[in-house]
Amino acid sequence: MEALFKLCGVLLVSGCAALMIRKSNPEMSLSLSAAALIAVFGVSLALLRPMRDVWEKAQTLYGLEDVYLLPLFKCCAAALVARFTADLCREASQNAAASAAELLGVICAIGAAMPLIGSMLGAIGEML
């Protein structure tokens, strides 16, 4: 929780700075926003370690295979990357590119979920 407040503080400070320089230098404003987003995203990857530990524990304790958990993480990653990309595109006033990034994120999430859907359909077929 402490990391959340620190990261949000960094984003608020960079957002205010970007807002102040937007009129005089819009390119620098976008670069500042992108740099802050990349820095926070990089730091937040370390916060995902507990999720990985739970994943590994579930695999060892319950014998879960990657086919069940990996699509979930891939879908979450696709959603986050698409969202960050779309927000940066909107910041640069590129609404069409932002929509394309969101659409690509949805397509990637559906593609990542296909193995899970296939295994679920196989399990249902075995029950029938």
d(CA 26, CA 20): 10
State whether 84 and 108 are in the same domain: yes
Secondary structure string (H, E, C) spanning 72-127 = HHHHHHHHHHHHHHHHHHHHCCCHHHHHHHHHHHHHHHHHHHHHHHHHHHHHHHHH
State whether 40 and 81 are in the same domain: no
Q: Which domain holds residue 1?
A: 1-47
State whether 74 and 115 are in the same domain: yes
State whether 120 and 59 are in the same domain: yes
The pLDDT score that the predictor gives to residue 22 is 83
Q: Chain centroid to CA 2: how far? A: 20
State whether 1 and 29 are in the same domain: yes
State whether 33 and 68 are in the same domain: no
Q: Please count the structural domains in the chain.
A: 2
- Per-residue model confidence as pLDDT tens for the chain (128 residues): 787 788 888 888 888 888 888 888 888 888 888 888 888 888 877 877 888 888 888 888 887 777 777 888 889 889 988 998 898 888 888 899 999 999 999 999 999 999 888 888 988 989 88
